Structure 1
């Protein structure tokens, strides 16, 4: 999709950009982005085309093919780099999650309120990983590591939950 929309109001232009990034689009340059061709992407791009037109802009939707395998590999590498950046951020949040639980264990703070909070944090991490996976069209290099780290977070929380249950048994 190529598009050109008026610079003002900026909020509409930014919303369009966010929606494209939220679909997993990679930008070749300002106003030129790519997505794998799927029925869902085509539907969403048609909706965005309409939105851009309502903003006073214009779009062109194209189906493209690469000239050769080297060019195709460059495009795929862009998609993978975007996902790996998201996986890196996710991995950092997993590390922070594990550190929070380690802190509670060190203080021996085994309350149901803390467990509920950590359970909600884990659910957010699971949801976030699922969103990244949905945009990982070409299996980025950090995909497997993110999956393993998610399993580790789940194990850490299960261990903490058992400590909470044990500490509150008979209370």
Structure 2
């Protein structure tokens, strides 16, 4: 996603004495908590807004009180580093955070397989609460909507749902299935701009098999408030998004009741590309990943990405349909 050329940045330029060492550690931890990234040596950046100005002002005060020096300035980037490159540093930092949450959520969910004893359920419940708290803290400093957010949110939400089902299990040992979605015809479907593999595939699935009259809107990954009647997909708190270890495409398949071997096969490919966990090990993954990467690299226009992705997925679907079972 390309950001506004008029974006302003806050830069904290500081220096601390070598001792006491704890002062350096304290400042570093505060910078991490604020979501700041290193521009060069002791220069840290945040996108400029009222909240981040206050955050850096307080931190500068702490640095001075620790016998250090600090300058906070607001600037536009001109040479040496572009706005997009600086945004990429923020996204990479948050994706690292989200990846850690995703790993822990998968490991916790694996402990619920079978009849988990009460002590394990208690441990996983406590772990899930910690992960939710950590995820909320990461989201608060995810200034540009990093790609890993949907996966981490889906896995944590899935873990919470699994724990809820354990607690509300019916007397026969079964759990209540989610109700089917209402009519999904001629709707406005909203997703994050800068579409990648899961959003491209999900949009194709929606328009071809769920809602032929679908209209798509592409919005910022952060701070968007849905309008009445809009349906969000592959978005934080969206109606259709990652759940547990399922990508958005897989969630749409299940919620729409599409029992089609060719679509399941495509879902397995999209899952392995998007979640990068090798769950299905489909041999087509590498080729499809390369083709979609080429589509996204050649155009920044989301409608064009969807159109070119649809042509690819149409051919892939036809290939699997001929094989009947998708294998």
Query: What range describes the TM-score normalised by the shorter chain of this pair?
Result: 0.7 to 0.9
Partner of 2:155: 149
Per the alignment, residue 133 of structure 2 pairs with 127
Aligned to 2:211: none
Confirm or deny: 8 A CA contact 1:26 1:35 kept in the other structure.
Answer: yes
- The residue aligned with 1:32 is 43
Task: From 2, 8, 23, give the equivalent of 2:34.
Answer: 23
Q: Which residue of the partner structure matches residue 124 of structure 2?
A: 118
Q: Could you say which residue in structure 2 is the equivalent of 1:6?
A: 17
- Offset from partner CA, 1:41-67 (integer Å, 9 cap, x none): 211211111111122211111101122
Indicate the residue corresponding to 2:143 in structure 1: 137
Q: Once superposed, which parts of structure 1, at least 4 consecutive aligned residues long, lie more than 6 Å away?
A: none
> Which protein, 1 or 2, shows the higher relative CO under an 8 Å CA cutoff with sep ≥ 6?
1
The 1:122–1:59 alpha-carbon spacing in structure 2 relative to 1, beyond 3 Å, is: same
TM-score in terms of structure 1 length: 0.85
- Change in Cα spacing, 1:166 to 1:110, as seen in structure 2 (3 Å) is farther
The 10-residue stretch of structure 1 (26-35 or 117-126) with the greater mean CA deviation from structure 2: 117-126
1:19 to partner: Cα distance? 0.2
Measured in 1, the distance between the counterparts of 2:19 and 2:48 equals 30
Find the counterpart in structure 1 of residue 96 from structure 2.
85
Tell me, yes or no, if the aligned pair for 2:16 and 2:66 is still in contact at 8 Å: yes
Q: Does 1:41 align with 2:47?
A: no
Alpha-carbon distance change, 109 to 152 in structure 1, aligned in 2, over 3 angstroms:
closer
Moved more, 33-42 or 132-141: 33-42
Larger mean Cα displacement after TM superposition, 37-46 or 87-96? 37-46
2:73 is paired with a residue whose SS is: coil
The alpha-carbon distance between structure 1 residues 109 and 52, as it changes in their structure 2 partners (threshold 3 A), is closer
Aligned length: 161
Does the residue aligned with 1:62 lie in a helix, a strand or coil? strand
Aligned-pair CA distance for 1:114: 4.1
Structure with the bigger percentage of helix? 1
The 5 A counterparts of 1:29-108 are 29-67=40-78, 71-102=82-113, 105=114, 108=115
**RMSD across aligned positions (CA):** 2.1
How far 1:148 moved relative to its partner?
1.6
Contact kept? 1:83, 1:136, Cα under 8 Å = yes
Q: Is the 8 A contact 2:16 2:68 kept in 1?
A: yes
TM-score normalised to structure 2 length: 0.46
2:237 corresponds to:
none
Offset at residue 132 of structure 1 (A): 0.8
Displacement of 1:119 in angstroms is 2.1
**Paired residues of 1:25 and 1:33 also in contact (CA < 8 A):** yes
Q: Flag the structure with larger Rg.
A: 2
Write the distance in 2 (CA, Å) between the matches of 1:147 and 1:127. 12
